Each structure stands twice: as C-alpha cells, then as structure tokens.
Amino acid sequence: MKKSWQIFWHSFFWISVISFFMYIAHTNAKIKMVDLLVTFVGYGLINIGLFYSNYLLFIPNYLNNKRYGRYLLMLLVTVLAVGFIKYGLGRIFHEHILTGRNGKTISFISYYISACFTSVIFVLLSLLLHFTVDWFLNERIQRDLENQRLQAELALLKSQINPHFLFNSLNSIYSLAYQRAENTPEAILKLSEIMRYMLYECNDNKVDLANELQYLQNFIDLQKIRFGDNSYVNFEVDGIITNQRIVPLLLISFIENAFKHGVANDPAAPIQLKITVDDGHLDFYMHNKKHLHNRDAAGGIGLNNVKRRLKLLYPNQYHLNINDTADTYTCELSLIL
C-alpha cells in the first residue's frame, strides 16, 4: 500500500474514533462541547503521538534491532514524560479536567497514574499493530517464496517431459528410417506438429482441453505409424470438451507408458484409452497388456513426473488409481478441471 493511502486510512481511523466517542459522551452525559474538545481532541492527539512514536521510532530503532533494554527505557521515560504533559494540560484547563463531578480537585497522584495507564494502553495498541502487520507481511513473503519454489519445480518437471518424449519419438522415427518405411515423412510431420504444440502452446498454466486432446491424438497417430498395420489402439473421447481448460502435458506420460511397456500389436488385447468429460470433471481410463520381457519395467521419470505435477497443480482435486499386475497395467484418473 502506498504511503499516501496509509496516511489517509490512519487519519480516517483516528478521526472516526475520536468523533464516535465525542458523540457518545455528548449524547449520554450531556458534556459541553468545549470539554469534549479539550478531553478528546487534546488528549487524543497526545495519545496518538505516543502511539506513532512507539510504532515509527522506538520499535524500528530499538525493538527490531533487539536492543530490548534501550527500548524499555525509552518507553518508560516517554510514558512518564507524557504523564506530566497531560497533567500540565489538565492544569491549563483545570475546570474541565482536574475538577471532579463533586467539585473537588483530582489529586496529582490519582490523575498521573490514570494518565500513565492510558498511555500504556496506546503503547500496547501500537505493539499489536506492529506484530499484526509483521505477521501478514511474513505470511505474504512465505506464500511468495512457496509460489516461486513451486513455479521453479514445475518448470523443472515440464522441462523433463520434452526431452523424455523427444528421445522416445526420435527413436521411433529412427526405426522407421532404418527400415526405409514410406511413412517416415508423415511421422516427421506428426512429430513437428507435436513439438510445435509443446514449444509454443504450453507456456500457460492451463490450455484448452480440445488442443491437449488433439496433441494426444497426434502422439497416438505417430505411434500407429511406428507400428504400421499391426497397431491396435482404441482411443475414445466422450462429452463436451469445448470451454474446458487443463494443465498441459498431464496425460501424455500415461499414454506414452502404454506404448513403451505395453502391447500395441495384439488385436485380442488392444490398448484401451478413454477420456470422459462431464460437468467440469475429467475421467481418464487406460488399460494395456504388458510385454513379456517388460513386465517388471518401471514407469521411469514420466509417471513420477505426472504424479508430482498432480500433487502440485490439483491438490485435493484428483484421484489416481493404478493397478499394475504381472500381465496388465490399468490407470484410472479422475480430475476436477
């Protein structure tokens, strides 16, 4: 908050408080306006000055620097001095301040103790404000630091996805080129479209779900090119996908894992991929048969990556269930978009 606004709100607060108590006193006790002005405005300004002396001078120069002895000494001297100033003002306006309702003069000791007690209250109020402001500032700093940490971690996780995917895709295209397959140029084009999406459209925290699903379709098409006529994959999308947003590159690791460790050339056990979108919820289902020589293969950094991203980006908004058996791998993800 800018200093001009701080001054405005502080001034507004004190004027409102003084006006409120003046109105209450005038209404209930029928006190004369001159008495109200002396009591609330004069003493109010003294107490407010004590409040800001502690808040702006003593706390920053002594308390924040851990000079506790000097801080307590300065407070004690100031409170005692302010007590004399208040008594001096009372002497000037003796009729309005030092004269009780019974007409007797209030003794110096009684008045001085009461004046010092009031001063202590304003000192405590300034301390309360200081610690409250500090608490909120520290909370905001901690939130900013946590957000920066999460952003850095997410950037690292996302940077892991691109090389991981690119490495596997280039291996697939290399195999096609080595075999001199006719669909090698088509595979390169698909990879180009995929990389364009990853480089230029995934910079936001969330992307259009329709674009993300098209990216997944391009990836699946690339894998089908790799396997040729012997690829068997059922990819199904149900529900309205327009006007929906999702964190980019979230589902690709599951699908990539299905092609890497699963069987894609068995017509009796095709890779099953289904995405259902309904009322702001996305349900993802994947099932694949495992390769005989890959049954115990771990998911690698891909699945660890996506699990960590889910925890960071969808806290308490997702449910992930993975059933990893000796022969099959099943993944079910429910996500609040």
pLDDT at 95: 64
pTM value > 0.85:
no
pLDDT value, residue 194: 80
Contact predicate 225/271, CB 8 Å: no
Give the count of beta carbons closer than 10 Å to the beta carbon of residue 272: 17
Domain definitions of the chain by residue range: 32-142, 181-336
- Which pLDDT value is given to residue 298? 46
Query: 20: which 2 tokens?
Result: 């409120």
Query: What's the Cα-to-Cα distance from 182 to each of 128, 186, 216, 229, 233, rounded to whole Å?
Result: 77, 8, 23, 13, 21
Fold of 181-336: Heat Shock Protein 90 (3.30.565)
What residues of the chain score a pLDDT lower than 50?
A: 295-296, 298
For residue 50, give the H/E element and its range: helix 43-53
**Integer Cα distance of 45 and 306 in angstroms:** 61
Structure tokens at 268: 């009796």
Please give the pLDDT value at position 296: 46
